[in-house]
Structure 1
Amino acid sequence: MATTGNAEDTAHLTIQEVSRLSGLSEPTLRYYEKIGLIDAVDRDATSGHRRYGPAVVEKVEALACLRSSGMSVKDMRAYLRHLDTRDASQLHELFQRNAERVAGEIERLRVRLRYLRLKADMWAARDRDDASAEHRAITEIMPVILEMR
């Protein structure tokens, strides 16, 4: 993720520039504004196009980090609310809960990876007519399939 640099660099960024900087799409930026995750964005007086000031860009970058972690919009709202009140215990709980969610996702991915590797082993054994290795792979796959359910 890119950083903003100094405030002068982000004084009047367009939506395209903020999109490139944050990694969030233009529709996502508009959506975040529409639902109030970011404040209403100033508009250029002549064109009416959005112009993002430093404070909004900083918030967008923070939201982009949260989104990339898989955090829900509901939790992003909670983050902003607790950040405003400096409620460290609530922020700790929010990030701890999301860390546990990601850990669960990682574990599910590990099970899927184990399944795929065992299936690859099984097919490789079948390809080389190694019945013993094929049987071992099938035997190891069965408990993994149960874990995937």
Structure 2
Amino acid sequence: MAATREGRERAEGPLTIQEMAQRSGFSEPTLRYYEKVGLLGVVPRDDSSGHRRYHSPLAERVDALACLRSSGMSVADMRRYLTLLDAGDRAAAAEQRDLFARHADRLSAEIERLRTRQAYLRAKSDMWDARHRGDTTAETRAVEQVQRALKDF
């Protein structure tokens, strides 16, 4: 079978762990860990070599996990997502919605923390720049910005 898009299962068969790692962006130890903790189930092995082989449905599951992980989702939440997925769309829709909404809220809070850190760093940079230039007025303004940023920490 010929692949119709980049990253699909090779024409000659299932993916090796190295190919799955390259495709998903996960390291090989991460793929082994996800198998061990039950996110992937048992990964089939090649009869002759015993090496892991990722067939299309399993490779698609790894791709989905890669998307969730890249969003910062925890292993516990990924496990919950997969459990709910197995329950079916209709039965688990509300719980899936809540899972993703909670994660989006966590990301919003994280973004806000990063913005606070960014404001602090920019203010410190401005302060040191003003000090370097000998501009005491600009340095005073920058110190005030640093102090405001510190209150948000």
Q: Which residue of 2 aligns with 1:115?
A: 120
Q: Which residue of 2 aligns with 1:27?
A: 29
Q: Which residue of 2 aligns with 1:72?
A: 74
- Could you say if the C-alpha distance between residues 147 and 10 of structure 1 is closer, same or farther in structure 2, counting changes exceeding 3 Å? farther
Q: Which runs of 5+ in 1 are unaligned?
A: none
Q: Which residue of 2 aligns with 1:98?
A: 103
Q: Which runs of 5+ in 2 are unaligned?
A: none
For 1:130, which of 124, 129, 135 is the aligned residue? 135
Offset at residue 12 of structure 1 (A): 1.3
Tell me the C-alpha RMSD between the 2 structures. Answer: 1.6
Instruction: Identify the structure with bigger relative contact order (alpha carbons < 8 Å, sequence gap 6+).
Output: 1
SS at match of 2:76: helix
Q: Is the 8 A contact 1:14 1:51 kept in 2?
A: yes
Amino acid at match of 1:93: D
* Structure 2 CA distance for aligned equivalents of residues 60 and 10 of structure 1: 20
SS at match of 2:123: helix
TM-score by length of 1: 0.92
Q: Kindly indicate whether residue 47 of structure 2 is the aligned counterpart of residue 42 of structure 1.
A: no
For 1:84, which of 82, 86, 97 is the aligned residue? 86
Offset at residue 55 of structure 1 (A): 1.0
Amino acid at match of 1:35: V
- Following TM superposition, where does structure 1 have runs of at least 4 consecutive aligned residues deviating by more than 6 angstroms? none
